[in-house]
């Protein structure tokens, strides 16, 4: 932050070239700020050294919450609050009548796991309606790949390296505003 608000944008037209470039740039120990691609590039996160996602773990926990909610809800409604005899089903205890509750327990578990997972994803990736789009170059949504590197002291050398990795366009951007 305090060093420089300047970044270098390198454009690529091929995902294989991009992958090779990412490895080269990482080997040169430049910091990759962000990469914009029109589609998922397999293995890009590994090449960039991004930490694995923990969304699956949150989803499991949400599923557990859903299961508990369904159990507490059904137990209260069907067993504690008003244990009616409905068609001879045994409503003396939760366990006795459990087979009838399992479809709901299953669905609520899936419901919580799925929906809360999606909401978590939106929150963590800061997505919502009316959000201002953040693409630095409109071509990255179609057929171009853009790598953003924080500019160091020797910008010329960085430009050379990026051009050598097969970048079709290298530009210096001042992000300060």
Partner 1 sequence: MYTISNRLKTFSIILIVLGALGVAYGFMTSHKSLEEVKTMLVEEHAHDGGQDASAQVHTESPDSAVSGTADVSHDDEHAVHVQAQLAKRPWSAMYVSALFFMFIALGALVFYALQIASQSGWSPVLFRVMEAISAYLLPGAIIVILLAVGSHYIGQNNEIFVWMNPDVVAEDKLIQNKSGYLNITAFLIRAIIFIGGWCTYRYFARKFSIAQDNAEPGDNRNFKKGFRIAAGFLVFYLYSESVMSWDWIMSVDPHWFSTLFGWYVLSSMVVCGITVIVMLTIYLKGKGLLPMANDSHIHDLAKYIFGFSIFWAYLWFSQFMLIWYANIPEEVVYFVSRIEDYKLLFFGMVALNFVFPFLILMNSDNKRVPWFVMMAGVVVLIGHYIDVFVMIMPATVVDRWFIGIPEIGSVLLFGGLFLLVVFTSLSKAPLTPKNNPFIKESENFEY
Which tokens in the block code for residue 113?
Answer: 């796991």
**Would you tell me which residues interact with partner 1 (CB under 8 A)?**
56, 60, 88, 99-100, 102
Residue 57 CB, nearest distance to partner 1 (Å)?
9
Distance CA 45, CA 11 (A): 18
Residue (43 or 175) nearer to partner 1, CB = 43
Q: How far is the CB of 56 from partner 1 (least distance, A)?
A: 8
By beta-carbon proximity to partner 1, the closer residue of 21 and 105 is 105
Residue closer to partner 1, measured from CB, 57 or 127: 57
SS3 label, residue 67: helix
Of 91 and 150, nearer to partner 1 (C-beta) is 91
Of 66, 54, 62, 60, the closest CA to residue 124 belongs to 54
Q: 26, 36, 28: which is closest to 143 by C-alpha?
A: 36
Minimal distance, residue 60 CB to partner 1, in Å: 7
Query: In whole angstroms, how close is the CB of 108 to partner 1 at the nearest point?
Result: 16
């Amino acid at each position: 932050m305090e060093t420089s608000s300047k970044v270098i944008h390198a454009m690529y037209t091929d995902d294989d070239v991009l992958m090779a470039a990412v490895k080269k740039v990482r080997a040169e120990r430049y910091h990759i700020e962000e990469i914009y691609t029109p589609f998922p590039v397999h293995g890009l996160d590994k090449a960039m050294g991004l930490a694995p996602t923990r969304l699956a773990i949150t989803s499991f926990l949400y599923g557990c919450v859903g299961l508990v909610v369904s159990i507490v809800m059904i137990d209260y409604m069907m067993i504690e609050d008003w244990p009616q005899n409905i068609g001879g089903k045994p409503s003396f205890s939760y366990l006795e009548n459990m087979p009838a509750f399992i479809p709901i327990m299953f669905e609520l578990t899936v419901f919580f796991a799925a929906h809360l997972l999606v909401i978590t994803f939106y929150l963590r990736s800061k997505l919502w309606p009316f959000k201002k789009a953040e693409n630095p170059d409109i071509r990255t949504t179609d057929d171009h790949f853009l790598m953003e590197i924080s500019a160091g002291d020797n910008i010329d050398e960085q430009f050379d390296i990026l051009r050598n990795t097969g970048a079709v366009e290298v530009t210096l951007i001042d992000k300060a505003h």
